[in-house]
Amino acid sequence: MLSTGNGRGQPESGGAMPTLSGWKDLPIELLLRIMSVVGDDRMLIVASGVCTGWRDALGWGLTNLSLSWCQQNMNNLMISLAHKFSKLQVLALRQIIPQLEDSAVEAIANYCHDLRELDLSRSFRLSDRSLYALANGCPWLTRLNISGCSNFSDTALTYLSYHCKNLKCLNLCGCGKAATDRALQAIAHNCSQLQSLNLDDSVIALATGCPHLRSLGLYYCQNITDRAMYSLANSRVKSKRRRRDTERRSSSKEEDGLANLNISQCTALTPPAVQAVCDSFPALHTCPERHSLIISGCLSLTSVHCACALHPHRAGRAMVANHAY
């Protein structure tokens, strides 16, 4: 029995001592507060099995869950929890040893229709069934990490882009069969709010289709060429020209455009192309204090510098405008 008093079974002041007939009568707000302080998702799962009242309360109030601690049987655990926690908005299922299968993702899609953020990284066992299920059941996704999901096809990824148009962050590292030109063109056409994309294939379709792109990871993409870099640079030039009549851009304003670009080990790129991108996006920096243009492993790009280290005269801009490809 839970009670409030002076520790001797007596009320602190006059009147009847408030009592609770059992744990099941713990107020929902207090239960949720306790669980938030505990900060252990394993305890949340245990608590949801205490009684139907707690299960219903946690199912109604829980919006953030991580099962990344689970080293075995994650698939069955997720299937058993999906219907209980139907209000989830953030779900992390990152794995060290691949466990997750399509059946678990389908359970998520069947019950967690409010899901906004999902991490499925290193889910090597998943197939296109999972992407189709997410597309049909979780249309409000804004962040999706499917890095390492090497079985996904570009057809399934294209289908997802048609139904999840609110995507802002998408990690496709290691999705070699999915991140094709066809799929990226679909993403560029359907996901105009995209701000961060991590992939290992073509970027040309993104240059014009995703004007809000802020972060781009192309680590070890040795097939990326100067053409992709010039496409990025020229997309910035065209965007500024469209705004020129309605807005004067301050030289200190860096809120729009690329702010992070990782082209480490992209050994096919040349200094003029990368310098063109750096010149076009003032938020990209090579200086130690604000290092956001990552070019490690590219010895040929050591001459590339941001505006902080360059003379105010930027010849690169003229080169971009006149470059034909």
Taking only the tens of pLDDT, the chain with its 325 residues reads 233 344 444 444 444 444 444 555 555 665 566 555 555 565 666 555 555 655 565 656 578 888 988 888 999 999 988 988 888 999 999 988 899 999 999 999 999 999 999 999 999 999 999 999 999 999 999 999 998 898 999 999 999 999 999 999 998 887 878 988 789 889 989 999 998 887 644 577 777 777 788 888 887 777 688 888 998 898 866 555 555 544 554 444 445 688 999 998 888 899 999 999 999 999 999 988 888 999 998 999 999 998 886 544 443 443 444 444 3
pLDDT at 44: 64
pLDDT at 20: 45
| Kind plus residue range of the DSSP H or E element containing 2 | strand 2-3
Other Cβ atoms less than 10 A from the Cβ of 169: the count is: 18
- CA dist 39 and 69 (Å) reads 13
Task: Enumerate the H helices of the chain as residue ranges.
Answer: 28-38, 41-47, 52-61, 74-82, 102-111, 128-137, 154-163, 181-190, 204-209, 226-243, 271-280, 315-322
Torsions phi, psi of 74, nearest 5? -60, -35
pLDDT at 184: 86
Q: Which CATH number fits domain 63-213: 3.30.365.10, 1.25.40.10, 3.80.10.10, 2.60.34.10?
A: 3.80.10.10
- CA dist 266 and 225 (Å) reads 8
Digit-coded pLDDT (tens) for 106-149? 999 999 999 999 999 999 999 999 999 999 999 999 999 998 89
pLDDT at 273: 96
Torsions phi, psi of 114, nearest 5? -95, 5
pLDDT at 227: 86
- CA dist 265 and 6 (Å) reads 68
Residues of each domain in the chain carrying CATH 3.80.10.10: 63-213
